[in-house]
Structure formats: C-alpha cells, structure tokens
Amino acid sequence: MKYRRLCTLVGVVALAGLLMGACGSGPTGEPQDSLPTMQVKGGSELAVVDAMGRTVEFSEPPQRVVVAGKSSLTIVNTLFLFPEAKDHVVGLVVGNQNPGDFLDFVDPTFNQKAVLEVEAGPEQIAPLKPDVVILRSFMAEKLGKPLEQIDIPVIYVDLETPEQYFRDVATLGQVLANEARAEEIKAYYQSKLDHVDKNLEGLTGEQMPRVLLLQYSDKGGEAALNVPSASWIQTTEVELAGGKPVWKEAAQSGGWTVVNFEQIAAWDADKVFVIHYKGDSAEIADRLKVDPQWQALEAAEEGGIYGFASDIFSWDQPDPRWILGVIWLAGKVHPDRFADLDMHQQVMQFFEQMYGMDKTAVEDSILPSLKGDVE
C-alpha cells in the first residue's frame, strides 16, 4: 500500500525524499480539536488529518494496523470499539495493563496478535509490515519520526479530552473504513454527557464540592500518592462531574505529581477519590479512612473518601471507560442529583453497545471484576 504524508509548515523537510509520493502544502502541525475529514482523491485515494494536524494519504484504507509506544492500551481499547479492529490490528504493545485481559472477551483470536515491547522501535515494528502505525501524540519525536524515515506511515491520537476523543474516534473510523460506527460511538458518549449536564443544570460554584483525586502507587515497596496533570482526562472527569479539582493549579507539569500529606491537608477537600491501578482502590480508601491523620480531614469526617471505580481497567484513564468514570463520579460528587443512578445498568449498557458483548458475557466476565466503591 502506498501512502503520502503531506508536508506541514513545521514538518521535517529532510524526510520528503523518503516519503512515497509528492509533497505539497498542508496543516501547521498544531494539535487539532475539530473532527477530521476524509477526502477521496483520484478514485480510491483517501486522506486523513490526525491529532497533530498532519495529513496522511493512503491509496486505500489500511489493512494492517499496529499500535505501538507508551499508553497504547488507550488506543487499542478504543480501536476495538470498531468490529473491524479484530481483523486489522496485527500487532500491539502489551505493557503493565495488558489489553488482552479484557479484549479476549471481545475477540477470541486476540492472543494470536503479535506482541511488542513498550520500547519497541522501527526494527521490531517493520517486520509486521504495517500499513499504518497508530501512536499517542507524545510519541512523535521518539518513535513517529524514525518510523516515517523508513516509509512507515504514522497516525497520531490524543484521547485526553472529550473533544479530542470524538475527533480521534472519527480518525480511527476513517482508518478502519467505518465512519458510521464512529458517529454511533460519538452519539452514545454525547448522550451520556448530556444526561450528566442535565442533572447538574443550575449548579452554582458554591454548590460544587472541592474534590481531590489521587493515584496510589507502591513501587519498590514505598507508598506514594500522586495527582494527575491539569490537562489530563482525570481532571476533566472531575470537572464534568460537577466538582472543583483542588490540585489543578499545582499540577501544570504534564505528568503525575507526588504530593505529601501536608499538601493534602492544606487542600482539605470535601471529597477524595483514590485510584489504584494494581489492586482494589476500595481497600486503599478504607486504609485512609482509619488513618489518624486522615480522620482529621473534612472528607473523612463526612464519609467522603472513595476508591475509584474500575472493572478490569480503571475508569479514570483516556480509555473508552472514561465515560463510565464521569457518570460514576457525578453520582458520588452530587448524590442528591443522581439518586436513581444504577451503575450496574450503566456498565451493562456500555459493554453491550460499545463492545458488542451480550448480556451473559457482561454478567459473567465484567460485573464480577468491578472494584472500588462502585455501589
């Protein structure tokens, strides 16, 4: 399959001779939040604008798709919202969070796909003969450019905000030649966001609880609590759920930031949510509730410390489950406005409509995996 990446104003001109096809004028390379458009040129040729504002052209929809680089779980789980993914994804990275732990339920042949290491470079990816490699945007310099230097096309996604998620889902719909499914996915997510907004209608700033979201980790046996970047989906989830993220001003660095108890006590949030990627977050929340230091905090006094909800994967990540995270958080942040919320019903509907799992499969494989304070 031949492809062509149109040059951007900030593109690397030195790569032009390596790319297949002529190079013309294109976007600026800045991240784009608007939905991408696919243009069909000269019969079967199509062009896709990715998250970096780059235009990538193909002679036909890619048949062999590889997902590589860090944070690949978020891409793979999003790709599998499309039924075509099981036929076109031929290789992927398996990191600490193995997508196969879940996607085996969606695609019985998932364990037959080629597995790459997180740090896999072009020399490991090229033998898979990909028509396209999909990466998170932050992998552009480290992995994207080296792949393009050997004529492997790359498409970037962000997935960190609802607007970016809708745009990137539309991009993946183009790559998999199923734009109608992309619209279905967007409509589902938008309906859920609209429902949350409707329940929060008329909410004033004074009625918005001060919320602290923490990730618990114990690498090397040493426990630490971290807050997410202000620009990450975790912060956005809290805001969409009608809460004020108290850590936002202190988390402008772009990654997880370790915080000590003195800072946590200074914030003294009304509600605290604890994420734990390698265990049950409810257990960590229960430990904090009985800790003498934590018992002096407003959240502990009001019973407002919760383990963040998850199934096989946590609902706080830029994975398709982020919408479940918003719904669940809204119910905890404003229980009076979501008195009728049934998260088991929401989970059933999500996996049935987004992944095509039947009711029995969800009951047998997903509901037993629910962790955190889901109820």
| Closest to 80 in 3D by CA, of 50, 52, 59, 110 | 110
Please check whether residues 326 and 244 belong to one and the same domain.
yes
Confidence check: pLDDT of 38 > 70? no
Q: Using CA atoms, how far apart are residues 246 and 147, in angstroms rounded to an integer? A: 40
Confidence check: pLDDT of 22 > 50? no
**Which residue(s) pair with 283 in the sheet?**
none
For residue 122, is it within any domain?
yes
User: Could you tell me which residues come within 8 angstroms of residue 268 by beta carbon, excluding any fewer than 6 positions away?
Assistant: 210, 297, 298, 299
Confidence of residue 219 (pLDDT cuts 50, 70, 90): confident
| Tokens 């793979």, located at residue | 76
| Tokens 């790319």, located at residue | 19
Contact 121, 146 (CB under 8 A): yes
Contact 216, 284 (CB under 8 A): yes
CATH number of the CATH domain containing 94: 3.40.50.1980
Q: Which of 159, 189, 219 is the last residue of a domain?
A: 189
Q: In what order do the strands lie in the sheet with 89-93?
A: 114-116, 89-93, 65-67, 132-136, 154-157
Please check whether residues 290 and 352 belong to one and the same domain.
yes
Mean pLDDT of 109-121: 94
Please check whether residues 110 and 233 belong to one and the same domain.
no
Confidence of residue 196 (pLDDT cuts 50, 70, 90): very high
Contact 213, 316 (CB under 8 A): yes
Please check whether residues 219 and 267 belong to one and the same domain.
yes
Q: Using CA atoms, how far apart are residues 355 and 106, in angstroms rounded to an integer? A: 7
Domain count, the chain: 2
Please check whether residues 254 and 347 belong to one and the same domain.
yes
The rounded percent of the chain whose pLDDT value lies above 90 is: 81
Confidence check: pLDDT of 154 > 60? yes
Mean pLDDT of 345-361: 97
219 vs 166, higher pLDDT: 166
For residue 194, is it within any domain?
no
pLDDT attached to residue 375 = 80
Please check whether residues 87 and 222 belong to one and the same domain.
no
Please check whether residues 252 and 178 belong to one and the same domain.
no
For residue 360, is it within any domain?
yes
pTM: 0.87
Please check whether residues 205 and 185 belong to one and the same domain.
no
CA angle at residue 166 from 163 to 170, to 5 degrees?
140
Q: Which of 163, 189, 215 is the last residue of a domain?
A: 189
For residue 22, is it within any domain?
yes
Please check whether residues 40 and 175 belong to one and the same domain.
yes
Confidence of residue 327 (pLDDT cuts 50, 70, 90): very high
For residue 375, is it within any domain?
no
Count of C-beta atoms within a 10 Å radius of residue 63: 14
Rounded to 10°, the helix 322-333/179-199 angle is 10
* pLDDT one-digit tens code per residue, 265-324: 999 999 999 999 999 999 999 999 999 999 999 999 999 999 999 999 999 999 999 999
Please check whether residues 161 and 205 belong to one and the same domain.
no
pLDDT attached to residue 3 = 54
Please check whether residues 102 and 9 belong to one and the same domain.
yes
Phi-psi region of 159 (alpha: psi -120 to 50; beta: other; left: phi over 0): left
Rounded to 10°, the helix 72-79/162-175 angle is 60
Q: Which of 155, 189, 223 is the last residue of a domain?
A: 189
For residue 195, is it within any domain?
no
3-class SS of residue 279: coil
Q: Using CA atoms, how far apart are residues 129 and 16, in angstroms rounded to an integer? A: 21
Domain that holds residue 57: 3-189
Please check whether residues 138 and 214 belong to one and the same domain.
no
For residue 57, is it within any domain?
yes
Confidence check: pLDDT of 242 > 90? yes
Confidence check: pLDDT of 40 > 70? no
Confidence check: pLDDT of 8 > 80? no
Distances (CA, A) of 369 to 101, 155, 237, 258, 365: 11, 33, 22, 28, 7
Q: Are strands 132-136 and 65-67 parallel, antiparallel or unpaired?
A: parallel
- Please report, in angstroms and rounded to a whole number, the separation of the first and last CA atoms in the chain: 50
For residue 362, is it within any domain?
yes
